[in-house]
Amino acid sequence: MVLICARSQQWRSLRVEGHADMLRGPMSSVRGLLPSLESMSIDLTDGGSYSRPDEMELAPALRALTLHGFTSIRLPWHQIKYFQLRSSRERSKLVSTAYTDRVMTTLNQLSDVEVCDLHFDNEIESNLYTSLSLFQVRHLNCNHLTSLTISASSWCSAPNFIRRITAPKLNSLKITTPFSGWDQLLWLISRSSCKLTELSIRAAERDSRNEYVLNVFSSVRDLTFLELGFRDTLIPGQGEELISLLSSPVLPRLEKLSIIQSSSSRSPYSDGVLLNALEYRWNPPEGSGVNRLRVVTLGMKVIDPASRRRLEALRAEGLVVVEKDN
Protein backbone atom coordinates (compact mmCIF):
# COMPACT_ATOMS: atom_id res chain seq x y z
CA MET A 1 0.00 0.00 0.00
CA VAL A 2 2.82 2.40 0.86
CA LEU A 3 4.43 1.72 -2.53
CA ILE A 4 1.14 2.50 -4.26
CA CYS A 5 0.74 5.76 -2.32
CA ALA A 6 4.28 6.72 -3.28
CA ARG A 7 3.02 7.03 -6.88
CA SER A 8 0.41 9.58 -5.89
CA GLN A 9 1.78 12.15 -8.35
CA GLN A 10 0.33 10.04 -11.17
CA TRP A 11 -3.13 9.58 -9.69
CA ARG A 12 -6.03 11.09 -11.66
CA SER A 13 -8.81 9.49 -9.62
CA LEU A 14 -8.85 8.53 -5.94
CA ARG A 15 -11.40 6.73 -3.78
CA VAL A 16 -10.79 6.84 -0.03
CA GLU A 17 -12.97 4.23 1.65
CA GLY A 18 -13.04 2.39 4.95
CA HIS A 19 -12.14 3.25 8.53
CA ALA A 20 -9.84 6.22 8.98
CA ASP A 21 -7.60 4.45 11.51
CA MET A 22 -6.72 1.81 8.91
CA LEU A 23 -5.83 4.44 6.32
CA ARG A 24 -3.81 6.81 8.49
CA GLY A 25 -0.44 5.19 7.80
CA PRO A 26 -0.69 4.59 4.04
CA MET A 27 -2.21 7.98 3.30
CA SER A 28 0.56 9.77 5.17
CA SER A 29 2.77 8.71 2.25
CA VAL A 30 0.81 11.03 -0.04
CA ARG A 31 2.40 14.06 1.63
CA GLY A 32 0.26 16.48 -0.34
CA LEU A 33 1.66 15.31 -3.69
CA LEU A 34 -1.46 15.07 -5.85
CA PRO A 35 -0.69 17.30 -8.85
CA SER A 36 -2.68 15.21 -11.37
CA LEU A 37 -5.71 14.31 -9.24
CA GLU A 38 -8.95 15.28 -11.05
CA SER A 39 -11.67 13.38 -9.18
CA MET A 40 -12.02 12.08 -5.65
CA SER A 41 -14.54 10.04 -3.65
CA ILE A 42 -14.51 9.95 0.16
CA ASP A 43 -16.42 7.31 2.12
CA LEU A 44 -15.12 7.10 5.69
CA THR A 45 -16.94 5.88 8.76
CA ASP A 46 -15.54 8.51 11.13
CA GLY A 47 -15.40 11.63 8.91
CA GLY A 48 -11.76 11.34 7.94
CA SER A 49 -10.09 12.95 10.91
CA TYR A 50 -6.80 11.23 10.07
CA SER A 51 -5.82 13.74 7.42
CA ARG A 52 -3.04 16.26 7.75
CA PRO A 53 -4.45 19.76 7.14
CA ASP A 54 -2.66 20.20 3.82
CA GLU A 55 -2.77 16.65 2.43
CA MET A 56 -5.73 17.09 0.10
CA GLU A 57 -5.53 20.84 -0.32
CA LEU A 58 -2.50 20.47 -2.58
CA ALA A 59 -4.44 19.02 -5.51
CA PRO A 60 -4.51 21.81 -8.10
CA ALA A 61 -6.31 19.76 -10.77
CA LEU A 62 -9.11 18.45 -8.53
CA ARG A 63 -12.49 19.38 -10.00
CA ALA A 64 -14.89 16.50 -9.16
CA LEU A 65 -15.73 15.40 -5.62
CA THR A 66 -18.09 12.77 -4.21
CA LEU A 67 -18.79 12.65 -0.48
CA HIS A 68 -20.54 9.76 1.23
CA GLY A 69 -21.76 11.61 4.27
CA PHE A 70 -19.50 14.38 5.55
CA THR A 71 -15.77 14.80 6.06
CA SER A 72 -13.36 16.84 8.15
CA ILE A 73 -10.62 16.47 5.54
CA ARG A 74 -9.44 19.86 4.36
CA LEU A 75 -10.01 20.07 0.63
CA PRO A 76 -9.56 22.71 -2.09
CA TRP A 77 -13.31 23.33 -2.03
CA HIS A 78 -13.10 26.46 -4.18
CA GLN A 79 -11.76 24.39 -7.11
CA ILE A 80 -14.65 21.91 -7.22
CA LYS A 81 -16.92 22.17 -10.27
CA TYR A 82 -18.78 18.84 -9.99
CA PHE A 83 -20.07 17.69 -6.61
CA GLN A 84 -22.03 14.65 -5.48
CA LEU A 85 -23.43 14.03 -1.99
CA ARG A 86 -24.31 10.40 -1.30
CA SER A 87 -25.43 8.29 1.64
CA SER A 88 -22.73 7.29 4.08
CA ARG A 89 -21.94 3.71 5.03
CA GLU A 90 -24.06 4.26 8.10
CA ARG A 91 -27.09 6.40 7.33
CA SER A 92 -26.91 9.74 9.07
CA LYS A 93 -27.98 9.51 12.71
CA LEU A 94 -27.96 13.27 13.19
CA VAL A 95 -31.17 15.04 14.08
CA SER A 96 -32.56 17.04 11.17
CA THR A 97 -31.28 20.40 12.47
CA ALA A 98 -27.71 19.15 12.89
CA TYR A 99 -27.86 17.34 9.55
CA THR A 100 -29.05 20.50 7.82
CA ASP A 101 -26.18 22.45 9.40
CA ARG A 102 -23.66 19.95 8.03
CA VAL A 103 -25.18 20.04 4.54
CA MET A 104 -25.26 23.83 4.38
CA THR A 105 -21.75 24.21 5.80
CA THR A 106 -20.37 21.74 3.26
CA LEU A 107 -22.11 23.35 0.29
CA ASN A 108 -21.16 26.85 1.40
CA GLN A 109 -17.51 25.96 0.81
CA LEU A 110 -18.21 25.10 -2.85
CA SER A 111 -18.05 28.67 -4.07
CA ASP A 112 -17.48 27.82 -7.77
CA VAL A 113 -19.48 24.59 -8.11
CA GLU A 114 -21.38 24.26 -11.40
CA VAL A 115 -23.02 20.82 -11.16
CA CYS A 116 -24.52 19.37 -7.96
CA ASP A 117 -26.10 15.94 -7.53
CA LEU A 118 -27.38 15.72 -3.96
CA HIS A 119 -28.92 12.84 -2.05
CA PHE A 120 -30.21 13.71 1.40
CA ASP A 121 -30.40 10.63 3.64
CA ASN A 122 -31.90 12.68 6.44
CA GLU A 123 -34.46 15.45 6.64
CA ILE A 124 -33.57 19.01 5.67
CA GLU A 125 -34.92 21.32 8.37
CA SER A 126 -37.84 23.52 7.34
CA ASN A 127 -37.13 26.37 9.77
CA LEU A 128 -34.44 28.68 8.44
CA TYR A 129 -33.77 30.11 11.88
CA THR A 130 -33.49 26.96 14.00
CA SER A 131 -29.91 25.85 14.44
CA LEU A 132 -27.54 24.15 16.83
CA SER A 133 -24.82 26.51 15.65
CA LEU A 134 -24.62 30.25 16.06
CA PHE A 135 -22.88 30.38 12.69
CA GLN A 136 -25.26 28.27 10.65
CA VAL A 137 -25.38 29.04 6.95
CA ARG A 138 -29.09 29.72 6.46
CA HIS A 139 -29.01 30.58 2.76
CA LEU A 140 -26.70 29.70 -0.13
CA ASN A 141 -25.86 31.95 -3.06
CA CYS A 142 -24.92 29.41 -5.72
CA ASN A 143 -23.69 31.95 -8.24
CA HIS A 144 -22.10 29.46 -10.65
CA LEU A 145 -24.52 26.53 -10.32
CA THR A 146 -25.99 25.48 -13.67
CA SER A 147 -27.30 21.97 -12.95
CA LEU A 148 -28.95 20.62 -9.78
CA THR A 149 -30.26 17.10 -9.10
CA ILE A 150 -32.00 16.29 -5.82
CA SER A 151 -33.03 12.95 -4.35
CA ALA A 152 -33.97 12.31 -0.74
CA SER A 153 -35.27 9.79 1.75
CA SER A 154 -37.75 12.35 3.08
CA TRP A 155 -40.43 13.95 0.90
CA CYS A 156 -39.97 17.37 2.55
CA SER A 157 -36.20 17.68 1.98
CA ALA A 158 -36.33 18.86 -1.64
CA PRO A 159 -38.68 21.85 -1.07
CA ASN A 160 -36.94 22.70 2.22
CA PHE A 161 -33.59 22.77 0.43
CA ILE A 162 -34.58 24.81 -2.60
CA ARG A 163 -36.07 27.50 -0.34
CA ARG A 164 -32.54 27.96 1.04
CA ILE A 165 -30.73 28.66 -2.23
CA THR A 166 -30.42 31.30 -4.93
CA ALA A 167 -28.98 30.18 -8.26
CA PRO A 168 -29.02 32.84 -11.01
CA LYS A 169 -27.31 30.61 -13.62
CA LEU A 170 -29.39 27.50 -13.00
CA ASN A 171 -30.64 26.02 -16.28
CA SER A 172 -31.26 22.37 -15.37
CA LEU A 173 -33.20 21.10 -12.35
CA LYS A 174 -34.07 17.46 -11.65
CA ILE A 175 -36.01 16.31 -8.59
CA THR A 176 -36.41 12.55 -8.27
CA THR A 177 -38.03 12.42 -4.83
CA PRO A 178 -41.82 12.77 -4.39
CA PHE A 179 -42.45 16.48 -4.80
CA SER A 180 -45.29 18.88 -4.11
CA GLY A 181 -43.27 22.01 -3.30
CA TRP A 182 -44.40 23.97 -6.34
CA ASP A 183 -44.60 27.17 -4.28
CA GLN A 184 -40.95 26.83 -3.22
CA LEU A 185 -39.93 26.07 -6.80
CA LEU A 186 -41.74 29.19 -7.99
CA TRP A 187 -39.97 31.35 -5.41
CA LEU A 188 -36.59 29.85 -6.32
CA ILE A 189 -37.13 30.80 -9.97
CA SER A 190 -38.38 34.25 -9.02
CA ARG A 191 -35.60 35.27 -6.62
CA SER A 192 -32.87 33.72 -8.79
CA SER A 193 -34.14 35.19 -12.08
CA CYS A 194 -32.76 32.00 -13.63
CA LYS A 195 -33.69 30.71 -17.08
CA LEU A 196 -34.41 27.02 -16.77
CA THR A 197 -34.18 25.08 -20.03
CA GLU A 198 -34.58 21.59 -18.50
CA LEU A 199 -36.95 20.58 -15.72
CA SER A 200 -37.57 17.07 -14.42
CA ILE A 201 -40.09 16.30 -11.66
CA ARG A 202 -40.15 12.51 -11.62
CA ALA A 203 -42.72 11.97 -8.86
CA ALA A 204 -45.06 14.95 -8.85
CA GLU A 205 -47.80 15.23 -6.30
CA ARG A 206 -51.00 17.10 -6.92
CA ASP A 207 -50.91 20.53 -5.31
CA SER A 208 -54.15 21.62 -3.67
CA ARG A 209 -53.39 25.12 -4.95
CA ASN A 210 -52.90 24.36 -8.62
CA GLU A 211 -52.12 27.98 -9.47
CA TYR A 212 -48.58 27.41 -8.18
CA VAL A 213 -48.01 24.80 -10.89
CA LEU A 214 -49.43 27.15 -13.52
CA ASN A 215 -47.22 29.97 -12.25
CA VAL A 216 -44.14 27.74 -12.35
CA PHE A 217 -44.87 26.77 -15.95
CA SER A 218 -45.53 30.42 -16.80
CA SER A 219 -42.17 31.43 -15.27
CA VAL A 220 -39.96 29.08 -17.30
CA ARG A 221 -40.53 30.45 -20.78
CA ASP A 222 -37.11 29.22 -21.96
CA LEU A 223 -37.84 25.59 -21.06
CA THR A 224 -37.16 23.22 -23.97
CA PHE A 225 -37.33 19.90 -22.08
CA LEU A 226 -39.91 18.80 -19.51
CA GLU A 227 -39.96 15.43 -17.77
CA LEU A 228 -43.00 14.80 -15.62
CA GLY A 229 -43.89 11.76 -13.54
CA PHE A 230 -46.60 11.11 -10.98
CA ARG A 231 -46.79 9.59 -7.51
CA ASP A 232 -48.29 6.14 -7.11
CA THR A 233 -50.71 7.70 -4.64
CA LEU A 234 -52.50 9.70 -7.34
CA ILE A 235 -55.81 8.15 -8.29
CA PRO A 236 -57.08 8.18 -11.91
CA GLY A 237 -57.92 11.73 -12.94
CA GLN A 238 -55.74 13.55 -10.41
CA GLY A 239 -52.92 14.07 -12.89
CA GLU A 240 -55.18 15.62 -15.52
CA GLU A 241 -54.82 19.14 -14.15
CA LEU A 242 -51.07 19.05 -14.80
CA ILE A 243 -51.41 17.50 -18.26
CA SER A 244 -54.17 19.97 -19.19
CA LEU A 245 -51.81 22.89 -18.57
CA LEU A 246 -49.90 21.77 -21.68
CA SER A 247 -52.99 22.59 -23.75
CA SER A 248 -52.32 26.28 -23.10
CA PRO A 249 -49.59 28.74 -24.20
CA VAL A 250 -47.34 28.01 -21.19
CA LEU A 251 -43.83 26.67 -21.94
CA PRO A 252 -43.77 28.27 -25.41
CA ARG A 253 -40.31 26.89 -26.35
CA LEU A 254 -40.98 23.30 -25.29
CA GLU A 255 -39.54 20.83 -27.82
CA LYS A 256 -39.18 17.58 -25.87
CA LEU A 257 -41.72 16.13 -23.45
CA SER A 258 -41.36 12.99 -21.35
CA ILE A 259 -44.24 11.58 -19.31
CA ILE A 260 -43.02 9.01 -16.78
CA GLN A 261 -45.34 6.27 -15.61
CA SER A 262 -45.08 5.09 -12.02
CA SER A 263 -45.02 1.43 -11.06
CA SER A 264 -48.78 1.55 -10.64
CA SER A 265 -50.83 0.19 -13.52
CA ARG A 266 -53.35 3.02 -13.12
CA SER A 267 -52.77 6.17 -15.09
CA PRO A 268 -53.53 9.43 -13.22
CA TYR A 269 -54.72 11.02 -16.47
CA SER A 270 -56.91 9.91 -19.37
CA ASP A 271 -55.60 9.23 -22.86
CA GLY A 272 -57.99 11.85 -24.21
CA VAL A 273 -56.55 14.63 -22.03
CA LEU A 274 -53.03 13.63 -23.06
CA LEU A 275 -53.91 13.72 -26.76
CA ASN A 276 -55.53 17.13 -26.38
CA ALA A 277 -52.21 18.41 -25.07
CA LEU A 278 -50.13 16.70 -27.77
CA GLU A 279 -52.37 17.99 -30.57
CA TYR A 280 -52.14 21.51 -29.19
CA ARG A 281 -48.35 21.25 -29.00
CA TRP A 282 -48.03 19.79 -32.49
CA ASN A 283 -50.35 22.34 -34.10
CA PRO A 284 -50.27 25.41 -31.82
CA PRO A 285 -52.71 28.20 -32.70
CA GLU A 286 -51.39 30.82 -35.06
CA GLY A 287 -50.06 33.80 -33.17
CA SER A 288 -49.78 31.90 -29.88
CA GLY A 289 -45.98 32.08 -29.91
CA VAL A 290 -45.78 28.38 -29.03
CA ASN A 291 -43.08 26.30 -30.71
CA ARG A 292 -43.99 22.95 -32.19
CA LEU A 293 -43.26 19.90 -30.04
CA ARG A 294 -40.72 17.60 -31.71
CA VAL A 295 -40.37 14.55 -29.45
CA VAL A 296 -42.63 12.96 -26.84
CA THR A 297 -41.76 9.95 -24.69
CA LEU A 298 -44.64 8.16 -22.98
CA GLY A 299 -44.16 5.84 -20.04
CA MET A 300 -47.50 4.12 -20.68
CA LYS A 301 -48.99 3.11 -24.00
CA VAL A 302 -52.10 4.87 -25.23
CA ILE A 303 -54.84 2.23 -25.14
CA ASP A 304 -58.11 4.06 -25.76
CA PRO A 305 -58.97 3.32 -29.44
CA ALA A 306 -60.02 6.85 -30.37
CA SER A 307 -56.96 8.37 -28.68
CA ARG A 308 -54.79 5.75 -30.32
CA ARG A 309 -55.94 6.86 -33.76
CA ARG A 310 -55.24 10.48 -32.87
CA LEU A 311 -51.73 9.57 -31.71
CA GLU A 312 -50.97 7.64 -34.90
CA ALA A 313 -52.16 10.62 -36.94
CA LEU A 314 -49.67 12.86 -35.12
CA ARG A 315 -46.94 10.30 -35.70
CA ALA A 316 -47.78 10.18 -39.41
CA GLU A 317 -47.48 13.96 -39.58
CA GLY A 318 -43.96 13.86 -38.13
CA LEU A 319 -44.18 13.95 -34.33
CA VAL A 320 -41.59 11.58 -32.88
CA VAL A 321 -43.42 9.36 -30.38
CA VAL A 322 -41.57 6.91 -28.13
CA GLU A 323 -43.83 4.58 -26.17
CA LYS A 324 -42.51 2.37 -23.40
CA ASP A 325 -44.18 -0.86 -22.35
CA ASN A 326 -46.52 -0.67 -19.38
- Report the mean per-residue pLDDT for the chain: 85
**Is residue 234's pLDDT more than 70?**
no
pLDDT band at 212 (very low <50, low <70, confident <90, very high): confident
Highest mean pLDDT among 10-19, 21-30, 303-312: 303-312
Query: What single string gives the DSSP state of each residue in 148-194?
Result: EEEEESSTTHHHHHHTTEE-TT--EEEE-S-B--HHHHHHHHHHHT-
* CATH fold group of domain 2-296: 3.80.10
User: Which one has a higher pLDDT value, 25 or 128?
Assistant: 128
Q: Give the Cα separation of 34 and 8 in Å (integer).
A: 6
Q: Which residue has the higher pLDDT, 44 or 40?
A: 40
* Confidence (pLDDT) at 264: 58
Lowest mean pLDDT among 1-5, 86-90, 119-123: 1-5
Identify the weakest region by mean pLDDT among 171-175, 201-205, 292-296, 303-307: 201-205
The pLDDT value given to residue 259: 93
pLDDT above 60 (res 149): yes
Residue 3 has pLDDT above 50, yes or no: no
- In this prediction, residue 98 carries a pLDDT of 86
> Would you tell me how many other CB atoms lie within 10 Å of the CB of residue 246?
22
Residues 6+ apart with CB under 8 A from 208: none
Q: Out of 107-121, 127-141, 257-271, which region has the weakest mean confidence (pLDDT)? A: 127-141
pLDDT higher than 60, residue 115: yes
pLDDT tier for residue 193 given thresholds of 50, 70 and 90: very high
- DSSP element (H, E) containing 316: helix 305-317
Range from 94-108, 198-212, 251-265 carrying the lowest mean pLDDT? 198-212
What does the pLDDT read at residue 16?
A: 82
pLDDT of 26 reads 57
267 pLDDT band, cuts 50/70/90, is confident
The model's pLDDT over 119-142, given as tens digits with 9 standing for 90+, comes to 999 999 887 665 555 455 689 999
**Helices H / strands E in the chain, number of each:** 9, 14
**Average pLDDT of the segment spanning 61-69:** 94
- Measured at the CA of 45, the angle between CA 69 and CA 155, to 5 degrees, comes to 30
- Can you list the positions of beta strands (E) in the chain? 13-18, 39-44, 64-68, 82-86, 115-120, 140-141, 147-152, 165-166, 172-175, 198-204, 225-230, 256-260, 295-298, 320-323
pLDDT at 255 over 70: yes
40 pLDDT exceeds 60?
yes
Contact 76, 39 (CB under 8 A): no
